[in-house]
Amino acid sequence: MKLKQFPPGGDCFFVIYSTMKGVFILIFSLFISHVSGQGIGSIVDHSTNPGEVLMEFDTRSTEIKGSYYLFSDWRKGDIILNSGVSINDQWLNYDVEYDLIEVKLDEEVKIVPLSMLKEFHKADRGHENRFFQPCDNYFHDQKVPMVGICEVLDSNYYGLILKFDTDIKESTYIPTLDMGKKDDELVVIEKLYLTKGNQTIEIPKKKQNFIQLYPHMTDLNSFLKEKKLNHKNKDDLIIILDFLNEEQHFQ
């Protein structure tokens, strides 16, 4: 088999022929050094992409949006440190990712790490006083302390806390369809826990399993039905826990 090239350089074609069979196979290879000043060209089957509406590459940059802060802006509040020192009536916010209280002063921002914090209180815009403390006051399985920051919604023996964590909500963007949210988002996630003393309990999905957490409270089922309360709703849970703690007091 022999291979010849005609002519050298520039546009060219190759001829491959076999002396045994006397059959010639012609293969053309076209090289174009300049195509409208855009470099090497390519052959595209436009029938597979009518109107060229599909982009081969999406060159737009992605960003991470959102915030790891507990509040959407600075809020007035009071801080009590483990040392007993109180820092009152300050503009503050809480960084859930790094477990830091940030205190905004006139010309600078100071930080208080979670390890130094006993608790802090914040007056909400509706003048509701909210109470937060380190979660390590509460335990899983009687041994393992929780981590991070918690809002104490009910501090009685039968209580309720709201645990805060952080996560990244990934983009749902589909380039071929140009649909969905393109940017990843930083989010603060919340989870409710029941407490008995300093022990935490995950809220059961089924009402009957919730009732079984308080076997000595024989009137609990009737109370839920009478008041039409949902044990998975935060506001309803506070009403239920008021009932449980009142009943516990008289037993």
Query: Is pLDDT of 23 > 50?
Result: no
In a domain, 55, yes or no: no
Kindly report the average pLDDT of the chain as a whole number: 78
Residue that the structure tokens 């393992």 belong to: 144
157 and 80 co-located in one domain = yes
Q: Is 217 exposed, middle or buried (0-12, 13-18, 19+ CB in 10 A)?
A: middle
Residues 183 and 219 in one domain: no
Q: Are residues 185 and 76 in the same domain?
A: yes
Total domains in the fold of the chain: 3
Same structural domain, 113 and 193? yes
> Mean per-residue pLDDT for 147-162?
95
Judged against a pLDDT cut of 90, whether residue 210 lies above it is answered with yes
Does residue 213 lie in a domain region? yes
Domain interval for residue 37 = 2-41
Average the pLDDT over 107-116 and give the result.
93
Q: Flag whether 49 is in a domain.
A: no
pLDDT band for position 7 (cuts 50, 70, 90): very low
Query: For residue 245, is it within any domain?
Result: yes
Pair (194, 226) in one structural domain:
no
What is the pLDDT confidence band of residue 146, given thresholds at 50, 70 and 90? very high
Does 150 lie in the same domain as 83? yes
Helices (H), 100-150: none
Is pLDDT above 60 for 37?
A: no
Amino acid identity of residue 33, one-letter, is S
68 and 140 inside one domain = yes
Q: Which two tokens stand for residue 104?
A: 């905004």
Residues 105 and 220 in one domain: no
Per residue in 160-179, pLDDT (tens digit) is 999 999 887 776 667 676 66
**54 assigned to some structural domain:** no
**pTM, whole model, 2 decimals?**
0.68
| pLDDT for 236 beyond 90 | yes
Over 60: is that where the pLDDT of 46 sits?
no
Q: Is residue 59 domain-resident?
A: no
- Phi and psi for 76 in degrees, rounded to 5? -75, 140
Q: Are residues 188 and 75 in the same domain?
A: yes
Among candidate residues 244, 226, 229, the one with its CA nearest the CA of residue 160: 244
Considering the domain boundaries, does residue 51 fall inside one? no
Question: Is residue 68 in some structural domain?
Answer: yes
